[in-house]
Structure 1
Amino acid sequence: MADGILLRTLFRVHLWTSARLMPVLIGRRSFESVLKWAPLSAPTPYRGLSSAYIVSAVNRTVRHPWLMRDRRCLREGLLAHRFLRFAGFDPDLRFGVDPQSMQAPRMSAHCWVCLDGRPVVSDSLPGMVQIYRHHADAGKAHAA
């Protein structure tokens, strides 16, 4: 395991590279394929980094999106979940929809990340109904 500056440098390079590749790699993939970016179990090469540091770095890395502008919460949520898991944390990736948009040509959906039951990346939006929680309970993801 790397220490201090080396650990943070490796983390930032990995995060930056992942953020740039993600739009291309998840493109028009199925929901199940997209969730592979949010592993339920993973090695912990970034153990020792705080959750606040990771969340802050993710927010900085995705603040000026070139791609995925209309799915910013998904990009941010997948990256935060992935790197929190790589640091040994146990995050939830939650998905919600706006029931008012169900009959619209385009459904309004949102995702956010919780740690210990509290939102750390984004939050549920007003009117959103949580429909899915991606979490490592007994090694399985489950519906809300």
Structure 2
Amino acid sequence: MADGLVLRVLFRVHLWLSARLMPVLVGRRDFESVLKLAPLHSPAPYRDLPWTYIVHRVKRTVRHPWLMRDRRCLREGLLGFRFLRMAGLDPELRFGVDAKSMHEPRLSAHCWVCLDGKPVVSDSQPGMVEIYRHPARMKAPAA
């Protein structure tokens, strides 16, 4: 019981610090640099935490952003992906763009996290065209 409580406290402190540092780490970096904040290989110190708990805590931690307000889904997505990975799970960080914004001065983009193909952190929005999945799945060769 105490071990579970200690694990949850450590997780919440780690998540809180990561959420506060995320705006600085993302800054105005390019897409490839931002994806490095969503590592494909990481230790799994939070393996004993349920994914539902992790998702709930991520959403709660970023619900009142004072930085990255215009990129809230990116912050939530990166944190969700990262901490689900650290729980030993295999999430996907998906990115989409609003097709209507393709000819606008500023592209409207969105990201969300899926587990087993189902959205768990945010979701695709109407009009969004998925353009990238991290990690990109390789199709098996045809037999």
**Matches of 1:73 and 1:53 in 2, distance apart?**
19
Q: State which structure, 1 or 2, has the greater radius of gyration over its C-alpha atoms.
A: 2
Q: Structure 1: which 5+ runs fail to align?
A: 139-144
Matched with 1:127 is 127
Matched with 1:109 is 109
Aligned pair in 2 of structure 1 residues 98, 16: CA closer, same or farther (>3 Å)?
A: same
Q: Is the 8 A contact 1:93 1:112 kept in 2?
A: yes
**CA RMSD after TM alignment:** 1.3
Matched with 1:87 is 87
In the alignment of these two chains, the number of paired residues is 137
Q: SS of the residue aligned with 2:66?
A: coil
Aligned pair in 2 of structure 1 residues 34, 49: CA closer, same or farther (>3 Å)?
A: same
Q: How does 1:38-117 map to 2 (within 5 A)?
A: 38-117=38-117
**Matches of 2:114 and 2:50 in 1, distance apart?**
15
**Matches of 1:136 and 1:54 in 2, distance apart?**
23
Matched with 1:7 is 7
Q: Which aligned segments of 4 or more residues in structure 1 are displaced greater than 4 angstroms?
A: none
Shift of 1:135: 1.7
**Matches of 2:129 and 2:20 in 1, distance apart?**
30
Q: Is the 8 A contact 1:112 1:122 kept in 2?
A: yes
Matched with 2:33 is 33
Moved more, 125-134 or 28-37: 28-37
Counterpart residue type for residue 124 of structure 2: S
| Alignment TM-score, normalising by the size of structure 2 | 0.93
Shift of 1:123: 0.6
**Matches of 1:32 and 1:15 in 2, distance apart?**
22
**Matches of 2:136 and 2:5 in 1, distance apart?**
30
Q: Structure 2: which 5+ runs fail to align?
A: 139-143
Shift of 1:137: 4.2
Matched with 2:141 is none
Q: SS of the residue aligned with 2:93?
A: strand
| Alignment TM-score, normalising by the size of structure 1 | 0.92
Shift of 1:80: 0.2
**Matches of 2:122 and 2:137 in 1, distance apart?**
22
